[in-house]
Structure formats: C-alpha cells, structure tokens
Structure 1
Amino acid sequence: MRSCALLLASSLALSACDRSAPEQVPDGVQQIALDDTGPPQARAFPSPDTSGAGWTVAANGQAILFSDPGADPWLTLACDLSEDPARFTIIRHAAALPGQSALFPFVGNGMRSRFLADATLGQTEDGGEWRWEAVLPVDDPQLDVFAGTRDLTATLPGRGMLEISSSRIPGQFLDWCRAGGEVAEPEEETEAEAESES
C-alpha cells in the first residue's frame, strides 16, 4: 500500500512539472507552426476574356504582344536575332513561382504543340515579374503552330486558357525571325482586317 502511495505522489509531482511556465524563447529566434512550412499552395486562375484582344508590335520591333488595347500583355512572342540560329521565346505573363515548370500546349493551324515552360524572372517597366517562358531555336518545327492565320488556343495548367482569334501577325513574325530579320517587320492589324479574317 505504501508503494502505491509513493507511486501516486511521484506521478502528481511529475504532472506538476509538466504544467510549469512555458519555455522562454531566446531573442532572435522565431517560432513557427508546422502548418506554415512546406511549399506554397497551388492556386488556379480563371481564363481571361480575350474577346477584345489583339496583337501589337513591341517598341523594339523584336516581339509581338497579345493583349487588350492599352493593357499588359497575356502573351509575348519574342525573337533574339543575336543567336545562331535565332532564339524564339514564348512568354505567358501569369503568376509563377521559382523552380516551377509546366507543359504549355498550343492548338491551331492544323497542329498541336507542347512547349516546356519554366518560371523565369523577367524585367518589365515596373521592375520584374515571375512569368512562364519557353525558349526554342527558331527552326524548331513545333513553332509551325504559329505559321498560319487560324484561331489558336494556349492553355497553361492552373493559369487558364488564352483564346487567340485568327490573325496573320504571329505567322509573319515567325517568318521574319526565321529569315534573320531581313524581311519586312509585321505591321499591326487593323480592326477591319481582323474582322475579314474571322
């Protein structure tokens, strides 16, 4: 009986120790909950309304931009003529995180192309943005998806689908890049021309 009483007293003493004041955290040490660790949660974005969008030529003449008039672009096609062969870059201006990669499929002009896009920190007038970029030699046959005047769709997982109305501009820009910039640069499409092609 005495041993039971001693055991009970010891248990109570240990329980009292467990209820002692919380341990002090040294200065400069930050505590975080385990729930706050790990990679950020993926977020899906809706497809933008591109019904009023069109192509314009960038100020430097080395890229074309797909956007609503006067708005930031959703898609950029760029040509770097300093490389041999020239490099063709497809940029999807959508939220990206460092280290991410995704397949970026385009469908149109009688074919389907899937480009491997990586999250890349690009420079903008306002500083920088994390966006998706696929870079290929301009003679890559997958780029022929742009060589035509039919509608295109471009779907980036989690970032929605871009519906791109028929236009001659992407095909002309691709031809210009493949020719080393020696043919006339593409001109901006007028509204009347866009309507006649649809």
Structure 2
Amino acid sequence: MIRVLALVPFVLLAACKPPASDEYVERSRIVPRTEGPSEPLDSPDTTGAIWAPGARPDRLLYGKPGERPLMAIECIHEAKASSIAYTRFAPADPHAKAVLALIGNSHVSRLKIDAVETDGIWIWQAAIDAVDPALDVLTGTREVEATVPGAGTVVLNPSQLPGDLIEQCRAQAAPAASENSAPSPREDPA
C-alpha cells in the first residue's frame, strides 16, 4: 500500500499537463516536410552501346542502337571560342548541381554538371571550353567510366569518335585564339 501511495504524486503531476491546443502551434514552428534527393538510379547496362553521329553536325550520341541515348557530346562554336557541351540523359532533381566524374585513358577528370530543364524534363547538362585539358579523358581509345552521383555510372565503350570530335573542335577554336594573340603590325615611321 505504501508503494501505491508513493506513486500518487507522480500520477497527479502527469495529470497536470494540459492537452494540446492552438497555443502550442503558435509557440512552435511548423516546418513543411522537405523532400530529399531522388532515389539513386542503377547504372545502365552498356553492353553493345556505341558512339554515333547525331542529327546535328558536330554532335555524338552514346547508347545502344535503337534505344534512348545515355550521353551526348557536342562542339558548340561561338564568336571567339568553341566549347564541348555534354549531356547525361538521366532524370535530375530540379536545380541540382553535381560533378561528372570521368575515369579512363590514363586520366581522371571532374566536370561540373547541372540539372537543366528541357521540354519539362530535368536532365544533366553543362559545357566546357574545348581546349580544357579535362577533356583529354575522352580523347583516347580505351573505356571510360562516366559517373553522376545518383544517376549511376555509364561505361563508355572504346571509340575514336569522341576524341576526333574534341580535336576537331579544338582545331576550330585555335584560329580564333591565334588571331587574338597575333602581334600587331608596327607602323613604319616615314
């Protein structure tokens, strides 16, 4: 009986807590549930995938013939420079930013890549100056692994086509660079 009487103050103390009310809502901040990043995608099977010319000149698509492409690279010519645009055709979270890791051909490169909305779908895209040495990873003839966190790893099967496209793009950028760096002719005082 003494034990039961000893518990009475604790029971009474617990009964003193008021029920939930609107006052508690006003005193505490209600934060809407924020969604985290999407679930990571599995790496696609690239057995039989190849590089092939796209519909636009200076563009290559990578994937299995007859299926949706996995990646693309394209030479973009601008007034004073050329760049290589690269796309990873995988769903991206809106406004996300990431790094495309490329490993192969005795190189390791990390290229910035952003989620870009195209026709209502968010995919990974970015561009880099064509003469940037980070692109050397794609100029060899060995396998390259291309990884975007959450979008899996795409194994780029060996091909000379990406290297040829990059070298052609660099060559087209070179005349503009050499024109800007050419010394100005001296005037001959008469």
Provide the C-alpha distance between the structure 2 equivalents of 1:44 and 1:128, rounded to a whole number of angstroms.
20
1:48 aligns to what SS in structure 2? coil
Q: Do 1:85 and 1:139's aligned partners in 2 also have CA atoms closer than 8 Å?
A: no
Structure 1 spans left out of the alignment, 5+ residues: 1-14, 19-32, 183-198
Identical-pair percentage: 32
Matches within 5 A, 1:43-62: 43-62=39-58
Q: Residue type of the partner of 1:62?
A: D
Task: For residue 82 of structure 1, report the CA deviation from its aligned partner.
Answer: 2.4
Matches within 5 A, 1:127-166: 127-166=119-158
Task: For residue 39 of structure 1, report the CA deviation from its aligned partner.
Answer: 2.8
Task: For residue 131 of structure 1, report the CA deviation from its aligned partner.
Answer: 0.8
Q: Do 1:109 and 1:151's aligned partners in 2 also have CA atoms closer than 8 Å?
A: yes
Provide the C-alpha distance between the structure 1 equivalents of 2:46 and 2:173, rounded to a whole number of angstroms.
29
Q: Do 1:120 and 1:132's aligned partners in 2 also have CA atoms closer than 8 Å?
A: yes
Q: Which residue of 1 is the match for residue 5 of structure 2?
A: none
Provide the C-alpha distance between the structure 2 equivalents of 1:63 and 1:86, rounded to a whole number of angstroms.
13
Could you say if the C-alpha distance between residues 53 and 156 of structure 1 is closer, same or farther in structure 2, counting changes exceeding 3 Å? same
Q: Residue type of the partner of 2:60?
A: I
| Normalised TM-score (structure 2) | 0.71
Structure 2 spans left out of the alignment, 5+ residues: 1-17, 20-29, 175-190
Q: Residue type of the partner of 1:58?
A: G
| Normalised TM-score (structure 1) | 0.69
Q: What is the count of residue pairs matched by the alignment?
A: 152
Matches within 5 A, 1:2-21: none
Task: For residue 41 of structure 1, report the CA deviation from its aligned partner.
Answer: 4.2
**1:92 corresponds to which of 71, 88, 91:** 88
Whether 1:42 and 2:38 are equivalent positions in the alignment is yes
